[in-house]
Chains A and B, each alone.
Chain A
Amino acid sequence: MSANEPLSDLLPADAHAFDRYAGRPKRRGKFKLPGEEVTGLNLTAMMDMMTILLVFLVKSYSTDPERVQVSDTLHPPSSTSSDEVLPAVNITVTSEAIMVEEIPVATLDTLSANQQESAFIPALSDALTRRVEELKELERLGGAPFDGAVLVVAHKDTPYDLLTTVLYTAGQAQFSQYRLLVMKAEDKAALEAAE
Protein backbone atom coordinates (compact mmCIF):
# COMPACT_ATOMS: atom_id res chain seq x y z
CA MET A 1 0.00 0.00 0.00
CA SER A 2 1.48 3.30 -1.11
CA ALA A 3 0.93 6.75 0.36
CA ASN A 4 -0.76 7.95 -2.76
CA GLU A 5 -3.42 5.26 -2.69
CA PRO A 6 -6.95 6.80 -2.27
CA LEU A 7 -8.70 6.28 1.10
CA SER A 8 -11.76 4.68 -0.47
CA ASP A 9 -9.59 1.88 -1.64
CA LEU A 10 -8.80 1.02 2.00
CA LEU A 11 -12.49 0.34 2.90
CA PRO A 12 -13.61 -3.24 2.59
CA ALA A 13 -15.65 -4.20 -0.28
CA ASP A 14 -18.71 -4.79 1.92
CA ALA A 15 -19.32 -1.59 3.95
CA HIS A 16 -21.85 -3.33 6.27
CA ALA A 17 -19.49 -6.03 7.36
CA PHE A 18 -18.84 -4.38 10.73
CA ASP A 19 -22.56 -4.04 11.45
CA ARG A 20 -23.04 -7.67 10.73
CA TYR A 21 -20.09 -8.47 12.99
CA ALA A 22 -21.53 -6.44 15.87
CA GLY A 23 -24.98 -7.93 15.47
CA ARG A 24 -23.81 -11.46 15.29
CA PRO A 25 -25.21 -13.97 17.78
CA LYS A 26 -23.23 -13.78 20.97
CA ARG A 27 -21.17 -16.73 21.93
CA ARG A 28 -22.52 -18.59 24.86
CA GLY A 29 -20.46 -18.47 28.05
CA LYS A 30 -18.54 -21.29 29.38
CA PHE A 31 -20.23 -24.59 29.90
CA LYS A 32 -22.27 -24.76 33.12
CA LEU A 33 -22.77 -27.80 35.22
CA PRO A 34 -26.32 -29.01 35.97
CA GLY A 35 -27.75 -27.06 38.90
CA GLU A 36 -25.17 -24.30 38.66
CA GLU A 37 -27.54 -21.90 37.02
CA VAL A 38 -29.80 -20.07 39.51
CA THR A 39 -33.36 -20.67 38.46
CA GLY A 40 -35.16 -19.86 41.76
CA LEU A 41 -34.55 -19.08 45.44
CA ASN A 42 -34.22 -22.17 47.58
CA LEU A 43 -36.37 -21.54 50.66
CA THR A 44 -35.60 -24.77 52.47
CA ALA A 45 -32.72 -23.37 54.54
CA MET A 46 -34.78 -20.36 55.53
CA MET A 47 -37.65 -22.64 56.47
CA ASP A 48 -35.33 -24.60 58.73
CA MET A 49 -34.16 -21.45 60.47
CA MET A 50 -37.70 -20.14 60.92
CA THR A 51 -38.91 -23.44 62.31
CA ILE A 52 -36.09 -23.55 64.87
CA LEU A 53 -36.83 -19.96 65.92
CA LEU A 54 -40.53 -20.66 66.22
CA VAL A 55 -40.03 -23.80 68.29
CA PHE A 56 -37.65 -21.95 70.62
CA LEU A 57 -40.05 -19.06 71.15
CA VAL A 58 -43.07 -21.27 71.69
CA LYS A 59 -41.09 -23.41 74.12
CA SER A 60 -40.03 -20.32 76.05
CA TYR A 61 -43.69 -19.41 76.34
CA SER A 62 -44.86 -22.75 77.57
CA THR A 63 -42.19 -23.46 80.19
CA ASP A 64 -42.55 -20.21 82.08
CA PRO A 65 -44.94 -20.85 84.98
CA GLU A 66 -44.93 -17.34 86.36
CA ARG A 67 -44.28 -14.64 83.85
CA VAL A 68 -43.28 -11.35 85.37
CA GLN A 69 -43.14 -8.45 83.02
CA VAL A 70 -40.48 -6.31 84.59
CA SER A 71 -41.07 -2.64 83.96
CA ASP A 72 -40.65 0.72 85.64
CA THR A 73 -43.87 0.19 87.55
CA LEU A 74 -43.29 -3.44 88.51
CA HIS A 75 -39.82 -4.47 89.53
CA PRO A 76 -39.90 -7.07 92.32
CA PRO A 77 -37.05 -7.00 94.82
CA SER A 78 -34.31 -9.59 94.71
CA SER A 79 -33.89 -12.30 97.28
CA THR A 80 -31.55 -15.12 98.16
CA SER A 81 -34.50 -17.48 98.49
CA SER A 82 -34.45 -20.55 96.27
CA ASP A 83 -37.99 -21.83 96.73
CA GLU A 84 -39.71 -22.34 93.41
CA VAL A 85 -42.90 -20.52 92.62
CA LEU A 86 -46.10 -22.48 93.06
CA PRO A 87 -49.36 -21.67 91.32
CA ALA A 88 -51.69 -19.46 93.32
CA VAL A 89 -54.07 -16.57 92.92
CA ASN A 90 -51.98 -13.60 91.83
CA ILE A 91 -52.18 -10.18 93.38
CA THR A 92 -49.95 -7.70 91.60
CA VAL A 93 -49.07 -4.43 93.25
CA THR A 94 -47.38 -2.03 90.86
CA SER A 95 -46.43 1.53 91.61
CA GLU A 96 -49.73 2.58 90.02
CA ALA A 97 -52.38 -0.05 90.62
CA ILE A 98 -53.43 -3.27 92.29
CA MET A 99 -54.42 -6.17 90.05
CA VAL A 100 -55.94 -9.57 90.65
CA GLU A 101 -55.01 -12.11 87.99
CA GLU A 102 -53.79 -9.25 85.78
CA ILE A 103 -57.10 -7.40 86.03
CA PRO A 104 -56.81 -3.93 87.63
CA VAL A 105 -59.08 -3.54 90.63
CA ALA A 106 -57.82 -0.31 92.19
CA THR A 107 -55.43 2.49 91.45
CA LEU A 108 -53.10 3.74 94.13
CA ASP A 109 -54.14 7.37 93.53
CA THR A 110 -57.70 6.70 94.65
CA LEU A 111 -56.55 4.23 97.28
CA SER A 112 -54.26 6.62 99.11
CA ALA A 113 -57.15 8.98 99.84
CA ASN A 114 -59.44 6.26 101.17
CA GLN A 115 -56.73 4.43 103.01
CA GLN A 116 -56.57 7.14 105.62
CA GLU A 117 -59.88 5.89 106.97
CA SER A 118 -59.43 2.16 106.63
CA ALA A 119 -56.61 -0.34 106.15
CA PHE A 120 -58.92 -2.52 104.10
CA ILE A 121 -59.34 -2.34 100.32
CA PRO A 122 -62.96 -3.15 99.39
CA ALA A 123 -62.34 -3.37 95.63
CA LEU A 124 -59.55 -5.87 96.18
CA SER A 125 -61.67 -7.83 98.62
CA ASP A 126 -64.55 -8.03 96.12
CA ALA A 127 -62.25 -9.24 93.35
CA LEU A 128 -60.63 -11.83 95.60
CA THR A 129 -63.97 -13.04 96.90
CA ARG A 130 -65.21 -13.54 93.34
CA ARG A 131 -62.06 -15.45 92.52
CA VAL A 132 -62.48 -17.65 95.59
CA GLU A 133 -66.06 -18.43 94.57
CA GLU A 134 -64.86 -19.37 91.08
CA LEU A 135 -62.16 -21.65 92.49
CA LYS A 136 -64.60 -23.30 94.88
CA GLU A 137 -67.03 -23.86 92.03
CA LEU A 138 -64.22 -25.44 90.03
CA GLU A 139 -63.39 -27.64 93.01
CA ARG A 140 -67.04 -28.71 93.25
CA LEU A 141 -66.94 -29.67 89.56
CA GLY A 142 -63.89 -31.84 90.11
CA GLY A 143 -61.07 -29.36 89.69
CA ALA A 144 -58.12 -28.71 91.94
CA PRO A 145 -59.03 -28.07 95.57
CA PHE A 146 -58.91 -24.51 96.79
CA ASP A 147 -55.88 -24.23 99.04
CA GLY A 148 -56.21 -20.57 100.04
CA ALA A 149 -52.84 -19.65 98.56
CA VAL A 150 -52.18 -16.17 97.29
CA LEU A 151 -49.06 -14.97 95.51
CA VAL A 152 -48.20 -11.31 95.93
CA VAL A 153 -46.08 -9.76 93.20
CA ALA A 154 -45.17 -6.30 94.39
CA HIS A 155 -42.97 -3.49 93.19
CA LYS A 156 -39.82 -3.08 95.27
CA ASP A 157 -40.78 0.43 96.40
CA THR A 158 -44.22 -0.58 97.63
CA PRO A 159 -44.79 0.94 101.09
CA TYR A 160 -44.95 -1.52 103.92
CA ASP A 161 -48.41 -0.42 105.02
CA LEU A 162 -49.81 -1.07 101.55
CA LEU A 163 -48.26 -4.53 101.52
CA THR A 164 -49.76 -5.43 104.89
CA THR A 165 -53.09 -3.95 103.84
CA VAL A 166 -53.11 -6.19 100.76
CA LEU A 167 -52.26 -9.22 102.89
CA TYR A 168 -54.91 -8.34 105.45
CA THR A 169 -57.54 -7.92 102.73
CA ALA A 170 -56.54 -11.28 101.24
CA GLY A 171 -56.91 -12.82 104.66
CA GLN A 172 -60.44 -11.44 104.90
CA ALA A 173 -61.20 -13.10 101.54
CA GLN A 174 -60.39 -16.58 102.94
CA PHE A 175 -56.77 -16.71 101.83
CA SER A 176 -54.52 -18.22 104.45
CA GLN A 177 -51.25 -18.97 102.65
CA TYR A 178 -49.22 -15.95 101.73
CA ARG A 179 -46.40 -16.11 99.23
CA LEU A 180 -44.24 -13.30 97.97
CA LEU A 181 -42.78 -13.49 94.49
CA VAL A 182 -39.27 -12.10 94.27
CA MET A 183 -36.47 -12.19 91.75
CA LYS A 184 -33.50 -14.42 92.27
CA ALA A 185 -30.54 -12.28 93.28
CA GLU A 186 -28.22 -13.33 90.47
CA ASP A 187 -30.94 -12.72 87.87
CA LYS A 188 -31.53 -9.22 89.11
CA ALA A 189 -27.81 -8.50 88.89
CA ALA A 190 -27.80 -9.74 85.31
CA LEU A 191 -30.87 -7.68 84.45
CA GLU A 192 -29.36 -4.51 85.89
CA ALA A 193 -26.14 -5.20 84.01
CA ALA A 194 -28.14 -5.55 80.79
CA GLU A 195 -29.93 -2.27 81.44
Chain B
Amino acid sequence: MAASRWQQEAESSSAAAEAELNLVPYLDIMVNLVIFLLFSFQVVIEVCRIDLLAPAYGEGGGSSSAATTITLAIHQNGYTVLSSDAAMGVIDIPLKDGDYDRDELHTKLVDWKRTYALPDNVIITAEPRLSYEIVVRTMDAIRLDGHSNLFPGVTLARAAGEVEKR
Protein backbone atom coordinates (compact mmCIF):
# COMPACT_ATOMS: atom_id res chain seq x y z
CA MET B 1 0.00 0.00 0.00
CA ALA B 2 2.80 2.41 0.93
CA ALA B 3 4.72 1.46 -2.17
CA SER B 4 1.69 2.16 -4.31
CA ARG B 5 1.23 5.68 -2.84
CA TRP B 6 4.90 6.42 -3.37
CA GLN B 7 4.56 5.27 -6.96
CA GLN B 8 1.55 7.55 -7.53
CA GLU B 9 3.35 10.57 -6.12
CA ALA B 10 6.37 9.89 -8.28
CA GLU B 11 4.21 9.63 -11.37
CA SER B 12 2.34 12.87 -10.63
CA SER B 13 5.58 14.83 -10.03
CA SER B 14 7.03 13.46 -13.23
CA ALA B 15 3.94 14.57 -15.16
CA ALA B 16 4.16 18.10 -13.70
CA ALA B 17 7.78 18.37 -14.72
CA GLU B 18 6.99 17.39 -18.27
CA ALA B 19 3.95 19.72 -18.61
CA GLU B 20 4.45 22.40 -21.24
CA LEU B 21 3.39 26.03 -21.04
CA ASN B 22 0.09 26.59 -22.80
CA LEU B 23 1.06 28.94 -25.62
CA VAL B 24 -2.32 29.16 -27.27
CA PRO B 25 -3.55 32.38 -25.55
CA TYR B 26 -0.19 34.04 -26.15
CA LEU B 27 -0.31 32.99 -29.77
CA ASP B 28 -3.81 34.46 -30.07
CA ILE B 29 -2.51 37.83 -28.90
CA MET B 30 0.45 37.69 -31.27
CA VAL B 31 -1.71 36.83 -34.26
CA ASN B 32 -4.11 39.65 -33.48
CA LEU B 33 -1.25 42.12 -33.09
CA VAL B 34 0.41 41.05 -36.33
CA ILE B 35 -2.85 41.30 -38.25
CA PHE B 36 -3.52 44.77 -36.81
CA LEU B 37 -0.04 45.99 -37.68
CA LEU B 38 -0.17 44.51 -41.16
CA PHE B 39 -3.48 46.21 -41.91
CA SER B 40 -2.38 49.57 -40.57
CA PHE B 41 1.03 49.30 -42.24
CA GLN B 42 1.30 51.92 -44.95
CA VAL B 43 3.58 52.05 -47.91
CA VAL B 44 6.83 53.28 -46.45
CA ILE B 45 8.21 56.01 -48.64
CA GLU B 46 11.35 57.95 -48.09
CA VAL B 47 10.71 61.63 -47.84
CA CYS B 48 12.90 64.68 -47.78
CA ARG B 49 12.43 68.37 -47.28
CA ILE B 50 12.93 71.58 -49.20
CA ASP B 51 13.58 74.71 -47.18
CA LEU B 52 12.01 77.95 -48.22
CA LEU B 53 13.00 81.44 -47.28
CA ALA B 54 10.29 83.36 -45.51
CA PRO B 55 8.56 85.68 -47.93
CA ALA B 56 8.74 89.36 -47.13
CA TYR B 57 5.36 90.93 -47.58
CA GLY B 58 6.67 94.45 -47.27
CA GLU B 59 5.81 97.66 -48.97
CA GLY B 60 8.11 96.95 -51.86
CA GLY B 61 9.64 99.77 -53.77
CA GLY B 62 12.97 98.09 -54.27
CA SER B 63 15.69 96.92 -52.02
CA SER B 64 18.19 99.26 -50.49
CA SER B 65 20.96 96.66 -50.63
CA ALA B 66 23.20 96.35 -53.62
CA ALA B 67 22.46 92.63 -54.10
CA THR B 68 20.79 91.81 -57.35
CA THR B 69 17.37 90.21 -57.01
CA ILE B 70 16.50 87.43 -59.41
CA THR B 71 12.86 86.63 -60.03
CA LEU B 72 11.72 83.52 -61.85
CA ALA B 73 8.18 83.65 -63.18
CA ILE B 74 6.46 80.40 -64.15
CA HIS B 75 3.57 80.89 -66.52
CA GLN B 76 1.60 79.05 -69.16
CA ASN B 77 4.11 79.79 -71.89
CA GLY B 78 7.23 78.79 -70.00
CA TYR B 79 9.73 80.57 -67.80
CA THR B 80 10.72 84.20 -67.59
CA VAL B 81 13.74 85.23 -65.54
CA LEU B 82 13.97 88.83 -64.47
CA SER B 83 16.62 90.76 -62.64
CA SER B 84 16.59 93.92 -60.60
CA ASP B 85 19.60 94.95 -62.66
CA ALA B 86 18.14 96.13 -65.94
CA ALA B 87 21.47 95.65 -67.70
CA MET B 88 21.14 91.89 -67.31
CA GLY B 89 18.07 91.81 -69.45
CA VAL B 90 15.35 89.15 -69.42
CA ILE B 91 15.48 85.45 -70.16
CA ASP B 92 12.44 83.90 -71.81
CA ILE B 93 12.33 80.13 -72.04
CA PRO B 94 9.28 78.85 -73.90
CA LEU B 95 7.71 75.44 -73.41
CA LYS B 96 9.44 72.57 -75.15
CA ASP B 97 7.20 69.77 -76.41
CA GLY B 98 4.43 71.03 -74.13
CA ASP B 99 6.57 70.82 -71.00
CA TYR B 100 8.72 73.29 -69.12
CA ASP B 101 12.29 73.30 -70.39
CA ARG B 102 14.11 72.88 -67.12
CA ASP B 103 17.42 71.97 -68.74
CA GLU B 104 17.49 75.24 -70.65
CA LEU B 105 16.52 77.14 -67.50
CA HIS B 106 19.36 75.51 -65.61
CA THR B 107 21.87 76.30 -68.35
CA LYS B 108 20.81 79.94 -68.62
CA LEU B 109 20.90 80.49 -64.87
CA VAL B 110 24.33 78.89 -64.59
CA ASP B 111 25.55 81.32 -67.24
CA TRP B 112 23.97 84.27 -65.44
CA LYS B 113 25.41 83.32 -62.11
CA ARG B 114 28.94 82.92 -63.51
CA THR B 115 28.74 86.11 -65.50
CA TYR B 116 27.22 88.42 -62.90
CA ALA B 117 28.28 86.78 -59.60
CA LEU B 118 24.71 86.58 -58.34
CA PRO B 119 23.64 85.70 -54.78
CA ASP B 120 22.14 82.30 -53.91
CA ASN B 121 18.60 83.53 -53.51
CA VAL B 122 15.82 83.63 -56.03
CA ILE B 123 12.18 84.63 -55.90
CA ILE B 124 9.76 82.30 -57.62
CA THR B 125 6.33 83.45 -58.66
CA ALA B 126 3.83 81.44 -60.62
CA GLU B 127 0.37 81.63 -62.08
CA PRO B 128 -2.31 80.95 -59.45
CA ARG B 129 -3.58 77.69 -60.94
CA LEU B 130 -0.15 76.23 -61.65
CA SER B 131 0.43 72.95 -59.85
CA TYR B 132 2.75 72.57 -56.90
CA GLU B 133 4.59 69.75 -58.69
CA ILE B 134 5.79 72.09 -61.44
CA VAL B 135 7.10 74.51 -58.84
CA VAL B 136 9.02 71.74 -57.05
CA ARG B 137 10.56 70.49 -60.30
CA THR B 138 11.60 74.02 -61.17
CA MET B 139 13.20 74.39 -57.75
CA ASP B 140 15.08 71.13 -58.36
CA ALA B 141 16.40 72.51 -61.64
CA ILE B 142 17.81 75.67 -60.11
CA ARG B 143 18.95 74.42 -56.69
CA LEU B 144 22.29 72.89 -57.60
CA ASP B 145 24.88 73.02 -60.34
CA GLY B 146 26.58 69.70 -59.99
CA HIS B 147 27.84 69.67 -56.42
CA SER B 148 27.84 73.43 -55.95
CA ASN B 149 24.96 75.67 -55.06
CA LEU B 150 23.14 77.52 -57.79
CA PHE B 151 20.04 79.09 -56.23
CA PRO B 152 19.26 77.08 -53.10
CA GLY B 153 17.49 79.94 -51.32
CA VAL B 154 13.97 80.09 -52.73
CA THR B 155 11.22 82.46 -51.74
CA LEU B 156 7.74 81.81 -53.03
CA ALA B 157 5.89 84.97 -53.89
CA ARG B 158 2.75 86.08 -55.60
CA ALA B 159 2.48 88.55 -58.39
CA ALA B 160 1.89 92.13 -57.26
CA GLY B 161 -1.75 92.06 -58.34
CA GLU B 162 -2.40 88.97 -56.28
CA VAL B 163 -0.85 90.50 -53.17
CA GLU B 164 -2.83 93.70 -53.53
CA LYS B 165 -6.07 91.69 -53.34
CA ARG B 166 -5.09 90.79 -49.81
- Listed in ascending order, the chain A residues whose CB lies under 8 Å from chain B are 43-44, 46-47, 50-51, 53-54, 57-58, 60-61, 64, 66-70, 76-86, 118-120, 151, 154-161, 163-164, 167-168, 171, 176-184, 187-188, 191, 194
Contact = CB atoms under 8 A, between A and B. Distances in A.
B34 A184 contact: no
Interface of B: 23-24, 26-27, 30-31, 33-34, 37-38, 41-55, 57, 74, 126-133, 135-137, 139-140, 143-144, 156-158, 162-163, 165-166
A159 B128 contact: yes
A177 B153 CA distance: 12
Interface of A is mostly: mixed
B47 A184 contact: yes
Contact of A77 (B38, B52, B136, B165): B136
B41 to A, nearest CB: 6
Chain B interface, DSSP helix/strand/loop, else mixed: mixed
A160 to B, nearest CB: 4
B42 A176 contact: no
Contacts of B166: 118-120, 168
A85 B49 contact: yes
A151 B48 CA distance: 11
Contact of B37 (A57, A167, A171, A191): A57
Contact of B46 (A47, A118, A184): A184
